[in-house]
Amino acid sequence: MGDVASGGGTYDAVVIGAGFSGLAMLHHLREAGLSVLVVDGAGGVGGTWWANRYPGVRTDSEYLAYAFSFSREVRDEWDWSERYPRGEEIRAYLEFVADRLDLRRDIRLGATVERAEHSDATNRWTLTLADGSSLHATYLVSATGLLSRPLYPELPGLDTFAGPAYHSARWPHEGVDLSGKRVGLIGVGASGIQMLPELADQAAHVTVFQRTPNYVLETTSPAVTADELAALRADYDAVFERAAQHPFGVPMEIPTRSALEVDDDERRRVFESRWEAGGFRFANECFTDLVSSPEASALASEFLRGKIREIVTDPRTADALSPSTYTFMGKRPPTGHGYYAAYNRENVELVDVLTTPIARVTPRGVVVAADGSGEVEHEIDVLVLATGFDAMTGALTAFDVVGRDGVTLRERWERDGLRTYLGISVHGFPNFFLSLGPQTPLSNLTVPVQRGAQWLQRALAHARENGVEQLEATREAEEWWYEETERAGRATVMYEEGKKAGAWFVGGNVPGKRAEMAVYLGGGPVYQDECARAAAEQYAGFRPG
Residues that bind ligand N01 (CB under 6 A): 58-60, 147, 153, 155, 168, 186-192, 194, 209, 211-212, 332, 353, 358, 386-389, 502, 504, 509
Burial of 318 (0-12, 13-18, 19+ CB in 10 A): buried
* Whole-angstrom distance, CA of residue 324 vs CA of residue 322: 6
Which CB atom, from 85 or from 428, has the smaller least distance to ligand N01? 85
* CB 152 to ligand N01: min, Å: 8
* CB 320 to ligand N01: min, Å: 13
* Whole-angstrom distance, CA of residue 67 vs CA of residue 97: 10
Which CB atom, from 28 or from 58, has the smaller least distance to ligand N01? 58
Pick the closest to residue 86 from 164, 198, 172, 176 (CA basis). Answer: 198
Residue nearest to ligand N01 (CB): 189
* Whole-angstrom distance, CA of residue 249 vs CA of residue 526: 12
Amino acid code (one letter) for 125: W
* CB 508 to ligand N01: min, Å: 8
* CB 55 to ligand N01: min, Å: 12
Can you name the residues that pair with 10 across neighbouring β-strands? 136
Which CB atom, from 282 or from 429, has the smaller least distance to ligand N01? 282
**Hey, is 292 helix, strand or coil?**
coil
Q: Which residue blocks in 245-369 are alpha helix, DSSP H?
A: 264-277, 280-285, 294-311, 315-321, 339-342
Which CB atom, from 430 or from 502, has the smaller least distance to ligand N01? 502
Burial of 360 (0-12, 13-18, 19+ CB in 10 A): middle
Which CB atom, from 192 or from 523, has the smaller least distance to ligand N01? 192
Which CB atom, from 512 or from 545, has the smaller least distance to ligand N01? 512
Which CB atom, from 388 or from 428, has the smaller least distance to ligand N01? 388
Which CB atom, from 63 or from 125, has the smaller least distance to ligand N01? 63
* Whole-angstrom distance, CA of residue 174 vs CA of residue 79: 25
* CB 236 to ligand N01: min, Å: 22
* CB 388 to ligand N01: min, Å: 3
Burial of 168 (0-12, 13-18, 19+ CB in 10 A): buried
DSSP 164: -
Pick the closest to residue 80 from 231, 292, 300, 245 (CA basis). Answer: 231
* CB 443 to ligand N01: min, Å: 10
**Hey, is 237 helix, strand or coil?**
helix
Give the distance from CA 378 to its chain's centroid. 32
* CB 407 to ligand N01: min, Å: 29
